[in-house]
């Protein structure tokens, strides 16, 4: 059995290499975006891979909720036949949450920004973080 196959068989939240990549990406994410309050990578089925800020219990809970949100977003998009859900934004009084799927992987990035950030910039840095994560995981697999 090849190493690549083995790596694919381990789910992301249990793979120390993937967890290390996620932590690295999130560190870079917070460096470029000071309005980032909290961020987490999670598996599609709601397991936390890595997080910045937040306590352990909160991280697990956010991972589960983000997974549900993502699935609901996908379900709505599917039902309306508008393609896959690219990202989800929850705007609140003092901030907003953006979540988007890591392209081509069963992983989601959920990030909480304060109200000082523009949605446009938040979206662009979130997209960059998700893209970086995809690249690292693919390089590892290769």
Partner 1 sequence: MAEHVILFAGPMGAGKTTAIESLSEIETIRTEATNTDRETADKDTTTVALDYGEITVGDDDKVRLYGVPGQRRFNFMWTILKERAVGLVLLVNNDAADPIRELDEFLEEFGELHEKGGIVVCVTRSDVAPTPYLDKYAERIREVMPGRMIPVFTADARNGDQMRTALMSLIANIEITAMIADNQERAA
> Which residues of this protein are in contact with partner 1, per CB under 8 A?
11-14, 43-47, 60-61, 63-65, 67-72, 74-75, 79, 106
Nearer to partner 1, 18 or 126 (CB): 18
Q: How far is the CB of 14 from partner 1 (least distance, A)?
A: 8
Nearer to partner 1, 33 or 100 (CB): 100
Using alpha carbons, list the distances in angstroms from residue 36 to 67, 87, 135, 140: 20, 17, 22, 27
Helix (H) or strand (E) holding 98: strand 95-101
Q: How far is the CB of 120 from partner 1 (least distance, A)?
A: 28
- The answer for 18, left when phi > 0, alpha when psi is -120 to 50, beta otherwise, is alpha
Nearer to partner 1, 53 or 71 (CB): 71
- What's the Rg (C-alpha) of the chain? 15
């Amino acid at each position: 059995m090849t190493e690549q196959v083995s790596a694919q068989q381990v789910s992301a939240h249990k793979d120390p290499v993937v967890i290390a990549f996620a932590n690295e990406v999130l560190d870079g994410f917070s460096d470029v975006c000071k309005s980032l309050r909290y961020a987490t990578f999670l598996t599609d089925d709601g397991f936390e891979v890595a997080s910045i800020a937040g306590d352990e219990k909160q991280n697990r809970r956010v991972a589960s909720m983000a997974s549900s949100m993502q699935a609901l977003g996908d379900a709505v998009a599917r039902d309306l036949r508008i393609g896959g859900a690219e990202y989800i934004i929850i705007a609140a009084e003092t901030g907003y949450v953006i979540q988007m799927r890591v392209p081509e992987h069963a992983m989601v990035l959920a990030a909480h920004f304060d109200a000082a950030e523009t949605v446009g910039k938040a979206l662009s840095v979130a997209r960059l973080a998700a893209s970086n994560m995809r690249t690292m995981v693919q390089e590892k697999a290769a």
